[in-house]
Amino acid sequence: MGFSFVKHLLVVLISFWVFADPAFAKHGGITRHYKFDVRMQNVTRLCQTKSIVTVNGQLPGPQITAREGDRVIIKVVNHVQYNLTVHWHGVRQLRSGWADGPAYVTQCPIQTGQSYVYNFTVTGQRGTLFWHAHISWLRVTVYGPIVILPKRGVPYPFPQPYKEVPIIFGEWWKTDTEILINQAMQTGLAPNVSDAFTINGLPGHLYNCSAKDTFKLKVKPGKTYLLRLINAALNDELFFSIANHSLTVVEADAVYTKPFKTDTVLITPGQTTNVLLKTKRHSPNATFLMAARPYATGPAAFDNTTTAGILEYHLPSPVPKSNKNKIHLPLLKPSLPIFNDTTFAANFNKRVRSLATPNFPANVPQKIGRRFFFTVGLGIMGCPQSQTCQGPNNTRVAAAVNNVSFVMPTTALLQAHFFNQNNGVYTTDFPANPPFNFNYTGTPPANIMVSSGTKVVVLPFNTSVELVLQDTSIIGAESHPLHLHGFNFFIVGQGIGNFDPKKDPAKFNLVDPAERNTVGVPSGGWIAIRFLADNPGVWFMHCHLEVHTSWGLKMAWIVQDGKGRKQKLPPPPSDLPKC
């Protein structure tokens, strides 16, 4: 009896150990379970304590780790006063659109005291992504890394790093950001800019009262570190650099790239970038600042501050421990581009190219089924009758795609589509082109009013799409990081000024373009992307500057079911939240 009990216990322990250890992921993948308790937490930054929304009381939130091919099940329980959803940013969600997460697009939000189980399989992806809240401005503190490791036994296409370190950029306000954006939407003006940026939740010693709140990366000499950079900031693209060290970019948005060296990385909100950091052969007599500050091209005010962490070498062992604390090494600072360096931005983005090897091909759509031309930018709208707005002639600032400022429905689009109940929820007449032609990057037209509506584009399954995104100079030219849910896309072309449909396509790169899920539409310029609509469902596309999303710079694509069983979206899970 005693022996059989011990034997049974051993079997249970061994099986638990196998399934809990990522190293034992089988080729077909394993199932990984996570629980996210969304709760308020008192956090002190910049000498001020405030109550913030967190997952499991952490900032940043917990890391999701999986291997390519694994199934991930995350139970999200909402203990806060806000309705909430979580988006798994960059995860393809093949036939699992119910788990994508944007509120009122693929689901109604999880209400206070309720829960929802997000269930998806990581298919054909490996690298760094991240998760974040996807309703109002709650993602300001509700975010964390997703690390997808290659299948067991499959190496990286670059030197195996000694250690891997997530570096997540965030943004911090002293005030309550929900009150901030709600007031801004009432007045029709821009909300106040942030008070600080953060690295792994810490502002760094360049801010008042933040010396103790500084991220430190301790490294050994002569080693290669993989830094998994994630921009989870709300409203700012960022330059990042480490003093006296160069970085090698090897991946962008969980897609391997041709490696290239750079002193500075540009990363927009919604983007991830993996870089290799090769440390110096011998411990130098210095410490090194790693710093991030904004790339800002628009007319509006921005948070012109710098977040900093410290790269510190382990001192050689002969130094007695008692002396280590007394050694004050000089702190070297990196030089970052000026805040509006559009030339650096264009050159950096052009260097990001797909590997395009037999193992990691770039499957760029060559024949195009549908072409679209979308303007993205700002404008103004009339003030709602119940409000007084502080813009010119009682107007408010708005943002739009093809002059349509998107109005969020009160029912989730995916439910309405799946159950054929779209009447009064959305219309399928989103314009394929701007309502009228004008000099998009020149003198703006006299009338800069935008229209509004809940309009979508419907695509038959497996349509090859080419989309040109054109910035406008209305109110002011600005870089817009556009994020597409449910797909990666290939960035086949980019340029400054107005897109020329006669000349520009001849210069498209259809061989090894960057493959991403978020792209910065250049300030006063355009970007051309291609993707294959092979994922049935409703897929949000929006600017990842949260203030522009709030103002309406968003739209949705409906991809219809295909004919085959594996080309159809399954029915929703039984616990899908109700509106």
A 10 A CB-CB count for 51 gives 11
pTM over 0.85: yes
C-alpha separations of 67 from 21, 122, 151 in Å: 11, 8, 6
Among the residues of 352-494, which ranges form H helices? 413-418
For the record, the structure tokens of 88 come out as 């798994």
Q: Mapping DSSP to helix (H, G, I), strand (E, B) and coil, where does residue 399 land?
A: strand
C-alpha–C-alpha distance, residues 490 and 353, integer Å: 10
Residue in the structure block whose two tokens are 């408010």: 396
Q: Mapping DSSP to helix (H, G, I), strand (E, B) and coil, where does residue 390 land?
A: coil
Q: Mapping DSSP to helix (H, G, I), strand (E, B) and coil, where does residue 220 land?
A: coil
C-alpha–C-alpha distance, residues 400 and 471, integer Å: 11
A 10 A CB-CB count for 260 gives 13
Q: Are residues 468 and 482 in contact, defined by beta-carbon separation less than 8 angstroms?
A: no
Q: Given the DSSP bridges, would you call strands 196-199 and 163-172 parallel, antiparallel or unpaired?
A: antiparallel
Residue in the structure block whose two tokens are 């004008």: 438
C-alpha–C-alpha distance, residues 398 and 407, integer Å: 11
Q: From first to last of the 579 residues of the chain, give the pLDDT tens digit.
A: 444 444 444 333 333 333 333 434 344 799 999 999 999 999 999 999 999 999 999 999 999 999 999 999 999 999 999 999 999 999 999 999 999 999 999 999 999 999 999 999 999 999 999 999 999 999 999 999 999 999 999 999 999 999 999 999 999 999 999 999 999 999 999 999 999 999 999 999 999 999 999 999 999 999 999 999 999 999 999 999 999 999 999 999 999 999 999 999 999 999 999 999 999 999 999 999 999 999 999 999 999 999 999 999 998 766 565 565 556 899 999 999 999 999 999 999 999 999 999 999 999 999 999 999 999 999 999 998 888 999 889 999 999 999 999 999 999 999 999 999 999 999 999 999 999 999 999 999 999 999 999 999 999 999 999 999 999 999 999 999 999 999 999 999 999 999 999 999 999 999 999 999 999 999 999 999 999 999 999 999 999 999 999 999 999 999 999 999 999 999 999 999 999
CA 201 to chain centre: 16
- According to DSSP, residue 241 is labeled E
Q: Mapping DSSP to helix (H, G, I), strand (E, B) and coil, where does residue 98 land?
A: helix
